[in-house]
Amino acid sequence: MPGSGFFRFVMAAAPRTGAEIRAAFLDFYEQRGHQLMASASLVPEDPTVLLTIAGMLPFKPVFLGQQPRPSARATSSQKCIRTNDIENVGRTARHHTFFEMLGNFSFGDYFKEQAIQWAWELSTTVYGISPKNLVVSVFREDDEAEQIWRDVVGVNPKRIIRMDEADNFWASGPTGPCGPCSEIYYDFKPELGDGGIDLEDDSRFIEFYNLVFMQFNRDAEGTLTPLENRNIDTGMGLERMAQILQKVPNNYETDLIYPLIEAAAALAGVDYKQLDAKGQTSLKVIGDHSRAVTQLICDGVTASNLGRGYILRRLLRRVVRHGRLLGIDKPFLTAMGEASIALMQTAYPQLLERKEVILAELKREEARFLETLERGEKLLVDVLAAKPKQISGEQAFELYDTYGFPLELTQEIAEEHGLAVDLDGFEQAMEAQRQRAKAAAVSIDLTLQDAIDQMAADLEATSFRGYELLDQSSSVQALVVNGEPAVRAEAGDSVQLVLDTTPFYGEGGGQVGDRGVLSGDGLIIAIEAVSRNRSVFVHSGRVERGSVSVGDVVHGQVDRACRRRAQANHTATHLLQSALKQVVDPGIGQAGSLVDFDRLRFDFHCPRAITAAELEQIETLINGWIAEAHSLEVQEMAIEKAKAAGAVAMFGEKYADVVRVVDVPGVSMELCGGTHVSNTAEIGLFKIVSESGVAAGIRRIEAVAGAAVLAYLNERDAVVKQLGERFKAQPAEIVERVVTLQTELKASQKALASAREELALAKSAALASQSEAVGDFQVLISRLDGVEGGGLQSAAQGLVDQLGDGAAVVLGGLPDPSDLGKVILVAAFGKGVIAKGQQAGKFIGAVAKACGGGGGGRPNLAQAGGRDGAALDAALEQAKGELTAALG
């Protein structure tokens, strides 16, 4: 395999080692026409992404149509880094910073049925996992995937679990390619049976293979339209599969990581098996992070206080910290680096090529850290000795600034002593240090994630005046043009600006940012969005006329109509939460929200669906509050006073000592930094659009308020009128007419299916005389076109019933004789054939490969599919020869 470095071999038994698992996956898909792709760098080409976080990331431009596909099919083992949940590394069985994602991809080639069949064949045949240990999930609306798993693959329907969008629907972003997912889970406790399966129980289930069916495009309104070229994107966690096949309690004790744990344990003079949970966690962190830092340095990342360099430095220092907790009192990073290179060099030979660079960076960074660590730890010990209620922001900043002591490390040590760190105070101390000239703030190190992060890092917080003003003059403090820091922008440029003060609301608390215009002498900038970054408001838009430079004074004017709609929706969201507490359960808590100009979304904790009657009651209650014209009272007060008054905190928000309280007297009181109407009557109307589940125990209500209600009702009215014209019915008669048509359609479909099955049986009845005796057995191989899979299965089973226990029947055909791209093959074996060692599922799956497909099922009855109808006759001849040889 040119350029990949992966060790390839032919295995006589099911793979067990990490190298065998990786090679088996790549071999499997390479043999099925997939181009083998070497792992991309951990430093991605995509400038908006800091590190390669997923196996599909290198192919993202292909999926988005920005680059031509490298081939119709591809497969890879992609190295990935994630640090978003670094605190779970070592504490759970499966969290890592560095991991490998095995994937197979189809770019407009095969789709759902083939991906599912191959995933099952790989899992059960190549990896040898028993079907009784497998459960699959499908998206709640994906009937097609469920049918394939149930009817084509033969999975027990009780082990097919439908899940909501949060778990089983992939999207590249708010708009663009998206589609449902189907995941395969390993069941560690199949003896518990098929009833009440809860895939959230990670002590019993582990998801190891995710299949993404990229089949839709989502526009700005959320409308899904089918893609012209549908794609497949899959991912199998190598570490997870190693845990399953090596039968160890967690990913860390697989041969992919455990040798590093043993190396660290030897350096510390301890026995991993004899340590308590805390000691084992430290060894797991060292093992995990050692792989990560070695690979990062290999891919060109060097330690620093910015961007990727900061992630590397943070990981390195965590390794040193946990080594010291284990009693390692001397430099040891180079030893761990050598162990990591030795462990991974077969799969990644570039590690050996860059060994000197890797070890030199490890040695240099460890020496730098050790020089300051001891002094910082001593100071922290002194701070802790005073038994404070928390570590102040000033103390944490002194450790960071003077001693190079990472804030995360201070947090970890404080947590070990049951203390928190004043993060707001830390940020204030950080900002107080930044007194650089604002005009120079755009000359920033480009190793940060993007220019916006860089721009915000050295600026003071923006003064927001949008509660009382909707237009205001401000000074341009920093500027980004077409993604690059700049001092001037011209007409046509896409820009991001920071102003010293602004009337524009920056996205936060679930509410979208304002729209509007910045103007000046001959200047017009259309502001399309406003976001926040480290308390700096970033105004994004396009220069439509004139030019603008850093230091210019511009006049900002908020789009008043958009602001009014956002205010109506935000206040309506507060009323919705109060109504839910009153109608459904006082204990309901918010789990997320979105306040847009044209709609609102509210997620909340609730173990059940809200009934139609409850939704109607909620709607009536909210519209009643609107009609009562409650004047809102907004004031700032101490947070303790606000809580004592009963103010509700918003999900995900951080609060200072003084907070903003939005009060609808007698109805709602919440801590909120968003914009609101001054009187509930300004909302006008409130209408619930939908209620659904988005995750286990999480429900979602989507609604519209204010002017958006009229647009919503007009749209629905237009639909009703069209349906009335189509069905020649009055609005009140439409539902009855649709129900009648559905009943008639179901009856017609049932009759058609029955007729097709009868036709298949009639055609097959004449085939019994064509069976051939092979010893004590009867073998019948025949082609039967124009019949769907269910009909072929019925026909094959009927022939076995007619010919007896010694019958082996294989039928194949094209459901649509004019379409050579879909082949169906069915095998039915009698008890005598099975006793001879033949199984229908394994047999038909092998035959289907000759038609470019695969499949499987039960020993007595199984179905497979293919994509090459021209090869069907040869495949049936192959089946006849193999059966004759096996039974003769």
Q: What pLDDT, in 10s, does the model give residues 626-679?
A: 999 999 999 998 888 887 888 887 544 556 778 889 999 999 999 988 999 999
Cα–Cα distance measured from residue 101 to residue 22, given in angstroms and rounded to the nearest whole number: 9
Q: Let me know: does 688 contact 619? Beta carbons within 8 Å.
A: yes
Mean confidence (pLDDT) of the chain: 86
Q: Let me know: does 72 contact 108? Beta carbons within 8 Å.
A: yes
Q: Let me know: does 364 contact 392? Beta carbons within 8 Å.
A: no
Is 227 or 287 the better-scoring residue by pLDDT?
A: 287
What is the tens place of the pLDDT at every residue in 717-769? 888 888 888 888 888 888 888 888 888 888 887 787 777 767 766 776 678 88
What is the tens place of the pLDDT at every residue in 156-211? 999 999 999 888 998 866 777 889 999 999 999 999 999 889 998 888 999 999 99
Provide the residue type at 91 as one letter: R
pLDDT-derived band at 688 (thresholds 50, 70, 90) equals very high
Q: What is the pTM of this model?
A: 0.49
The confidence score (pLDDT) of residue 571 equals: 96
Burial call 568-577: b when 16+ CB within 10 Å, e when fewer: bbbbbbbbbb
Pairing mode, if any, of strands 160-163 and 169-171? unpaired
Which tokens hold the place of 369? 């850290």
The confidence score (pLDDT) of residue 436 equals: 29
Q: Let me know: does 557 contact 516? Beta carbons within 8 Å.
A: yes
Q: Is the pLDDT of residue 445 over 70?
A: no
pLDDT-derived band at 385 (thresholds 50, 70, 90) equals confident
The confidence score (pLDDT) of residue 100 equals: 94
Q: Is the pLDDT of residue 696 over 60?
A: no
Q: Given the structure tokens 């504490």, which residue do they identify?
A: 91
Between CA 377 and CA 384, with CA 382 as vertex, the angle to 5 degrees is: 90
**Average of per-residue pLDDT across 47-56:** 80
* SS3 call for 397: helix
The confidence score (pLDDT) of residue 112 equals: 94
- Tally of CA atoms within 13 A in the half-sphere of 604 that contains its CB: 25
Cα–Cα distance measured from residue 30 to residue 10, given in angstroms and rounded to the nearest whole number: 13
Cα–Cα distance measured from residue 620 to residue 614, given in angstroms and rounded to the nearest whole number: 10
**Average of per-residue pLDDT across 202-225:** 89
267: Cβ contacts below 8 Å, ≥ 6 apart? 323, 328, 332, 335, 336
Cα–Cα distance measured from residue 518 to residue 584, given in angstroms and rounded to the nearest whole number: 45
Lowest-pLDDT choice from 418-432, 527-541, 766-780 = 418-432
Which segments within 682-806 are labelled E, that is strand?
686-695, 698-705, 772-774, 777-783
User: Which letter does DSSP use for residue 631 in this model?
Assistant: B
The confidence score (pLDDT) of residue 443 equals: 31
Q: Is the pLDDT of residue 7 over 50?
A: no
Cα–Cα distance measured from residue 572 to residue 672, given in angstroms and rounded to the nearest whole number: 13
Which tokens hold the place of 624? 């009643």
Q: Given the structure tokens 């092979």, which residue do they identify?
A: 774
* SS3 call for 711: helix
Which helix (H) or strand (E) is 613 found in, with range? helix 612-627
- Facing residues of 206 across strands? 186
Q: Is the pLDDT of residue 450 over 60?
A: no
The confidence score (pLDDT) of residue 54 equals: 87
Q: Please count the other Cβ atoms lying within 10 Å of the Cβ belonging to residue 287.
A: 31
What is the tens place of the pLDDT at every residue in 796-809? 998 999 899 999 99
Cα–Cα distance measured from residue 138 to residue 134, given in angstroms and rounded to the nearest whole number: 14
Cα–Cα distance measured from residue 573 to residue 641, given in angstroms and rounded to the nearest whole number: 23
- Tally of CA atoms within 13 A in the half-sphere of 733 that contains its CB: 8
pLDDT-derived band at 497 (thresholds 50, 70, 90) equals very high
User: Which letter does DSSP use for residue 633 in this model?
Assistant: E
Dihedral sign, CA of 865, 867, 872, 878?
Answer: negative
Cα–Cα distance measured from residue 460 to residue 430, given in angstroms and rounded to the nearest whole number: 10
The confidence score (pLDDT) of residue 390 equals: 87
What is the tens place of the pLDDT at every residue in 845-873? 889 989 988 877 788 999 988 889 999 99
Is 446 or 219 the better-scoring residue by pLDDT?
A: 219
Pairing mode, if any, of strands 501-502 and 463-464? parallel
The confidence score (pLDDT) of residue 834 equals: 92
CA nearest to 309, candidates 449, 453, 452: 449
Q: Is the pLDDT of residue 479 over 50?
A: yes
Q: Let me know: does 425 contact 394? Beta carbons within 8 Å.
A: yes
Q: How far is CA 83 from CA 89, 206, 359, 409, 500, in A?
A: 9, 21, 22, 15, 33
Q: Is the pLDDT of residue 2 over 90?
A: no
pLDDT-derived band at 401 (thresholds 50, 70, 90) equals low
Cα–Cα distance measured from residue 800 to residue 795, given in angstroms and rounded to the nearest whole number: 9
The confidence score (pLDDT) of residue 452 equals: 66
Q: Please count the other Cβ atoms lying within 10 Å of the Cβ belonging to residue 601.
A: 19
The confidence score (pLDDT) of residue 586 equals: 84
Q: Let me know: does 655 contact 671? Beta carbons within 8 Å.
A: yes
The confidence score (pLDDT) of residue 447 equals: 29
Cα–Cα distance measured from residue 444 to residue 326, given in angstroms and rounded to the nearest whole number: 39
Q: Given the structure tokens 């073998």, which residue do they identify?
A: 779
Q: Is the pLDDT of residue 213 over 80?
A: yes
13: Cβ contacts below 8 Å, ≥ 6 apart? none
Cα–Cα distance measured from residue 666 to residue 508, given in angstroms and rounded to the nearest whole number: 26
Q: What are phi and psi of 190, to 5 degrees?
A: -65, -20
pLDDT-derived band at 439 (thresholds 50, 70, 90) equals very low
Which segments within 588-667 are labelled E, that is strand?
590-595, 600-605, 633-638, 658-664
Dihedral of the alpha carbons of 539, 543, 548, 551, in degrees to the nearest 10: 0
55: Cβ contacts below 8 Å, ≥ 6 apart? 76, 78, 80, 101, 102, 103, 235
The confidence score (pLDDT) of residue 4 equals: 39
Is 666 or 44 the better-scoring residue by pLDDT?
A: 666
The confidence score (pLDDT) of residue 404 equals: 60
Interaxial angle between packed helices 258-268 and 277-298, expressed in degrees from 0 to 180 and rounded to the nearest 10 = 110
Q: Please count the other Cβ atoms lying within 10 Å of the Cβ belonging to residue 610.
A: 19
What is the tens place of the pLDDT at every residue in 347-374? 999 999 889 889 998 998 888 888 767 7
Cα–Cα distance measured from residue 684 to residue 281, given in angstroms and rounded to the nearest whole number: 56
* SS3 call for 522: coil
Phi-psi region of 5 (alpha: psi -120 to 50; beta: other; left: phi over 0): left
DSSP codes, 564-603: HHHHHHHHHHHHHHHHHHHHT-TT--EEEEEE-SS-EEEE
Helix ranges restricted to H, 404-552: 407-416, 423-433, 451-457
Dihedral of the alpha carbons of 715, 222, 113, 127, in degrees to the nearest 10: -150
The confidence score (pLDDT) of residue 825 equals: 93
What is the tens place of the pLDDT at every residue in 613-630? 999 999 999 999 999 999
The confidence score (pLDDT) of residue 412 equals: 78
- Cα of first residue to Cα of last residue in the chain, in angstroms, is 41
Provide the residue type at 588 as one letter: I
pLDDT-derived band at 574 (thresholds 50, 70, 90) equals very high
Q: Let me know: does 80 contact 99? Beta carbons within 8 Å.
A: yes
